[in-house]
Structure 1
Amino acid sequence: MSQTILYARVSTSDQNLDHQRTQAEAAGFQIDEVVADHGVSGVSTHLFDRPEGKRLDDKLRRGDVLVVRWVDRLGRNYQDVTDTIRHFIRKGVVIRTVINNMTFDGATTDPTQMAVRDALIAFMAATAQAQAEATKEAQRAGIEANKGNPKKYRGKKPSYDAESLHRVQTMAAEGAGTTVIARETGLTRQTVLRIKADPVAAEAALERWSS
Structure 2
Amino acid sequence: MKTFGYVRVSSKDQNESRQIEALKGLVDEILIDKCSGKNADRPQLQALFQKVRSGDTVKIKSVDRLARNTRDLLEILDHLTSQGIKVIFIDNNMTFDDTPTSKFYVTMLGAVGELERSFIRQRQQEGIEIAKEKGGVFKGRPKDEELRKTVAGYLAKGSYTSQEICKLAGVSRATFFRIKKELV
Query: In which range does the TM-score fall when normalised by the shorter chain?
Result: 0.5 to 0.7
- Alignment: residue pair count: 138
8 Å CA contact retained: 1:69, 1:98:
yes
SS in structure 2 of the partner of residue 99 of structure 1: coil
SS in structure 1 of the partner of residue 46 of structure 2: helix
Runs (4+) of structure 1 exceeding 6 A deviation are none
Q: How far, CA to CA, are the matches of 1:144 and 1:83 in structure 2?
A: 35
**Would the alpha carbon gap of residues 94 and 145 (structure 1) be closer, same or farther in structure 2, given more than 3 Å must change?**
same
- Which segments of 5 or more consecutive residues in structure 2 lack a partner in the other structure? 141-184
**Would the alpha carbon gap of residues 97 and 91 (structure 1) be closer, same or farther in structure 2, given more than 3 Å must change?**
same
Match of residue 67 from structure 1: 59
Determine which structure has more spread, i.e. the larger CA radius of gyration: 2
SS in structure 2 of the partner of residue 91 of structure 1: coil
**Would the alpha carbon gap of residues 142 and 19 (structure 1) be closer, same or farther in structure 2, given more than 3 Å must change?**
same
Match of residue 140 from structure 1: 125
SS in structure 1 of the partner of residue 92 of structure 2: helix
8 Å CA contact retained: 2:33, 2:42:
yes
Matching residue within 31, 38, 44 for 2:27:
31
Q: How far, CA to CA, are the matches of 1:19 and 1:125 in structure 2?
A: 20
TM-score, with normalisation over the residues of structure 2? 0.63
SS in structure 1 of the partner of residue 5 of structure 2: strand
TM-score, with normalisation over the residues of structure 1? 0.56
SS in structure 2 of the partner of residue 96 of structure 1: strand
8 Å CA contact retained: 2:68, 2:117:
no
8 Å CA contact retained: 1:10, 1:37:
yes
1:131-168 CA-partner distances (Å, limit 9, x unpaired):
111111122222223322469x9xxxxxxxxxxxxxxx
- Which segments of 5 or more consecutive residues in structure 1 lack a partner in the other structure? 107-113, 154-211
Q: How far, CA to CA, are the matches of 1:84 and 1:60 in structure 2?
A: 13
Q: How far, CA to CA, are the matches of 1:133 and 1:79 in structure 2?
A: 15
Match of residue 103 from structure 1: 95
Q: Which has the higher helix share?
A: 1
Q: How far, CA to CA, are the matches of 1:96 and 1:117 in structure 2?
A: 11
Listed as ranges, the matches of 1:107-126 within 5 Å are 114-126=99-111
8 Å CA contact retained: 1:93, 1:105:
no
Q: How far, CA to CA, are the matches of 1:122 and 1:13 in structure 2?
A: 28
**Would the alpha carbon gap of residues 146 and 124 (structure 1) be closer, same or farther in structure 2, given more than 3 Å must change?**
same
Q: Which deviates the most, 140-149 or 79-88?
A: 140-149
Q: How far, CA to CA, are the matches of 1:100 and 1:121 in structure 2?
A: 10
SS in structure 2 of the partner of residue 146 of structure 1: helix
SS in structure 2 of the partner of residue 53 of structure 1: helix
